[in-house]
Structure formats: C-alpha cells, structure tokens
Amino acid sequence: MSMNEAELKALSVRLAALADALEDRSHQAVQAVSTSSQRLDQTAHSLSQNVQWLISEATRAMGAQAHAAVTQGMQQAVDRCAQVLEQASVRATQSTQALETQHTAMQRAQKALVWRSGLALLVGAALALGTSGYVYWKSIQAARAAEFGAAIVRATQTGALTQCGDTLCVKAPQSAPRYSRNSDYVLLP
C-alpha cells in the first residue's frame, strides 16, 4: 500500500500535532509535580511553625514539672513529622527528575519523527517528480509516433506513397531533394 504526497503531508501534520500534544502534557506534568513539591514544602514549614507554637502554648499552660516531659514528647513528634516530610520532599524531587528525563526523551522522539516525516515527504516528492518525468517522456514518444503515422497517412492520401505489388512505392521527381544523411532516400513534401 503506497501513500501519495497529500497523504504523507497529512500524516506528517498529524504526527507533528501528536508530538506537540505529548510535549505539552509532559510540560504540564512537570509543572504539576513542581507545584506539588512547593506546596508540600510550604505545608511542612507551616506545620513546623504550628507545632512550635503548640509546644510553646502547652509548655506555658503546664507547670514547670510537666515542661520537660511535654517538650521531649513534642520534640520526638516534630522530629518524626520532619522525617516523613523530608522523605516526601525527596520522592517529589525524584519524580520531577524522572518526568524531566521523560520530557527530554519525548523531545528527541519528536525531532526524529519530524526528520522521518521530512524524509518521507522528500522521497514522495522525488517519486512524484520521477513519475511525472516518465509520463512526459512517454507522451513525447507517443506524439512523435503519432506525427510519423500522420505523415504516412498524408503521403498515402496524396498518392506519393502507395503499394506496388508486395513493395511500397514512392512517387518522386528526379529533382526531389534527398535526405542529407543518406541520399538513397527522397524527402517528401
């Protein structure tokens, strides 16, 4: 099954549109992960401030005797929360890097697709040009054959060319002009 030039161009346009859509989606995904990572950092910071405030309030409300126990317990909770948030931040950063790597691979694939499409269009154009040249050459050959056939018909109609038994005869005066490459042949009017 072969594709003509218009189909190749349409396919190339569709492939380019697909590549652009994939690139846009990849950019959006990278942006979304980056935004989520920033929000996670902000939430962690806000949580840390709220916990510090809570510790401060709890400490003030309790007596001096409970202060040491509460401070130690709250610090352990804050440390655990900070560890969990740090791990989440690391995972978000890794996800962002993985998406950027995929985005780079998509851009390379898009470039390869554009080159292949251009090459396909070039080959299609070369084939179309070759076919057109061949058709033109065949048309010239057919026109020459038709001109020769018409010349024979004219010579037959005027009686200059006829059949003498099994041989063709030409009626030509002795002074008739001769073909320059072979004087055995007479040029007919």
CB count in 10 Å sphere of residue 95: 16
| DSSP-assigned letters across all residues of 7-70 | HHHHHHHHHHHHHHHHHHHHHHHHHHHHHHHHHHHHHHHHHHHHHHHHHHHHHHHS-HHHHHHH
Four-CA torsion 71, 74, 79, 82, nearest 10 degrees: -130
Over residues 165-187, mean pLDDT = 75
Instruction: Tell me what pLDDT residue 66 has.
Output: 62
Tell me if 102 sits within 8 A of 26, measured CB to CB.
yes
Which has the higher per-residue pLDDT, 165 or 146? 146
pLDDT digits (tens, 9 = 90+) for 39-64: 888 888 887 888 788 777 777 766 65
Q: Is the pLDDT of residue 1 over 60?
A: no
Instruction: Tell me what pLDDT residue 189 has.
Output: 59
pLDDT digits (tens, 9 = 90+) for 65-75: 666 676 777 88
Instruction: Tell me what pLDDT residue 187 has.
Output: 75
Among residues 28, 81, 95, 22, the alpha carbon closest in space to that of 52 is found at: 81
pLDDT digits (tens, 9 = 90+) for 81-116: 888 888 888 888 888 888 888 888 888 888 887 888
Domain range annotation of the chain: 5-121
β-strands 161-164, 167-170: how paired?
A: antiparallel
Average model confidence (pLDDT) across the chain: 81
